[in-house]
Amino acid sequence: MGTSGGVGVVLASLDASVAALDSLNREDSFLAAGAGAGAGVDVLQRRHEIRLERLELMARLEAQLAAMKALDTAEAVAFQQAMTPPDASIQDRTYADLSVVEEIAGVLTISSGAAGALVEHSRRICSLPPVMNALSAGAMSWQHARIVADETEGLTAEDAASLVAHFFDPAAPQPARGAAPGGLVPSRFRAKVRGWRERHHPESIEKRHVKGVADRRMEYTPDRDGMAWVSLYLPGDTACAIWNRTTATARGLQGPDEERTLTQLRPDIAASLLLGAGNTTQTGKPSKAGKVPTPRADVLVTVPVFSLLGATDEPAMLDGFGPIPASMARNLVADGAESFYRILIDPRDGAPLEIGRKNYRLTETIKRWIRLRDTKCTFRGCTNRTPDNETDHLQAWQHGGTTGTSNLAQLCPKHHRLKHHTRWTPDPANKNEPPGWTSPTGRHYNPEHQDAEPTHWPPGILPTHRSPLEQVLLQRLAT
């Protein structure tokens, strides 16, 4: 804490950059008005140069603002820790830290994961004065500074200082050659920093690899047009073997009767192997192009009634993903009946008509209803849609809370615990809307939920000419 001097340096740099930008803007205005152009001045050429100079200044300003953001982020966490009582338990300290991360996420309108990464990067960059100085001066971008933060992770303070000195101190023994860090594109700078780290790291690559293996994981990211990404973080040899096997299998399937490209075959083969259907051997002809097995999983498929009947092509909603084509929804309902809970939507108001289920326990029905309404963890900015989300009482049962839709919401395990250990407070929910949240510092965040879409009515199902009463009724049904 107490980096007012650092803030002053950043503000002075910002002032200088803003003054230079203002000077260029005034010059450009004069040129645009036909004034201030002396003899022999190529107005178009000079205005072109001004654009480039302004871009350069704006890049410097972005770096200087990033330095200010890093300082404030690091200090916000430091002040929160200073306010935590000295005799607080480890659990209380942990949740105090989580709470301030969520506060930062809310102020910046970013996810809690992004806020956590910002906190870690900011604290590490602020602990490396040469890096912070270069960022404050606008000599390099936030991306360059973040690379240094990433590559010094796990190093001792002495080793981190040696790495920083190599790249930022021209007087250091055997300093980096060539362009300064800010003069290199980030990918090239990362390669140089990583190369130095690998050569000078006090811990062998064998030991670091063991730690890396412990961090292996699979990630899932929904995308547009009913598509999604699945990525694996694995040991290099395993990842290489997977790539080589899918490539070899794909090349073996290529031929005059196979219309799928190598790029299309690879994911088809991987999906078939992961979903337990063995190798894909069928060709890519339109009648059965690239068919992969229907997934078997306990998920909700929200299907408009007319879409299920084939009368319209209104998109359905796949829980944990988002909009999917009507044809995909009909296929899931038909082929995945044992694994997918079908939810039919009333065309009048979008409300669920029926939730299919294999048992009649009220608790399971309520959980599915809440899952349908909320679609994800309801905490501000959280996108967790996994099945381990918990249906939680917003007002505790022992404090008078009821078991109804207005007092229930989905929370992931992390935010469920945060709610019970900090002063983050949910609003009441209602039938169609999850709760909003209020932070410990009093900032309120409105609920996050899907926007209701008007129903697509099949052509010809309603009369062309309507009476005034019918017009009013249809307007009521559509709202």
Element (H, E) at 322: strand 322-324
Q: Is a pLDDT exceeding 80 seen at residue 346?
A: no
Query: Which of 81-90, 251-260, 362-371, 465-474 is predicted least confidently?
Result: 465-474
CA distance 241 to 126: 41
Name the pLDDT band for 397 (thresholds 50, 70, 90). Answer: confident
The residue that leads in pLDDT, 116 or 461, is 116
Query: Which of 39-53, 262-276, 435-449 is predicted least confidently?
Result: 39-53
B/e letters for 107-142, b = 16+ CB within 10 Å, e = fewer, are eeeeebeebbbbbbbbbbbbebebbbbbbbbbbbbb
Residue range 102-106: mean pLDDT, rounded: 96
Q: Is a pLDDT exceeding 90 seen at residue 40?
A: no
Name the pLDDT band for 337 (thresholds 50, 70, 90). Answer: very low
The whole-chain average pLDDT of the chain stands at 80
Q: Is a pLDDT exceeding 90 seen at residue 127?
A: yes
Q: What pLDDT is stored for residue 36 in this prediction?
A: 59
Q: What is the pTM of this model?
A: 0.68
Q: What pLDDT is stored for residue 360 in this prediction?
A: 30
Q: What pLDDT is stored for residue 362 in this prediction?
A: 38
pLDDT digits (tens, 9 = 90+) for 179-199: 889 999 999 899 889 888 877
Q: Is a pLDDT exceeding 60 seen at residue 5?
A: no
CA distance 464 to 479: 20
pLDDT digits (tens, 9 = 90+) for 133-157: 999 999 999 999 999 999 998 888 9
Percent above pLDDT 70 for the chain: 76
Nearest CA among 65, 47, 52, 57 for reference residue 18: 57
The residue that leads in pLDDT, 46 or 302, is 46
pLDDT digits (tens, 9 = 90+) for 348-392: 555 555 444 333 333 576 777 788 788 889 999 888 876 678 888
CA distance 7 to 9: 5
Q: What pLDDT is stored for residue 370 in this prediction?
A: 83
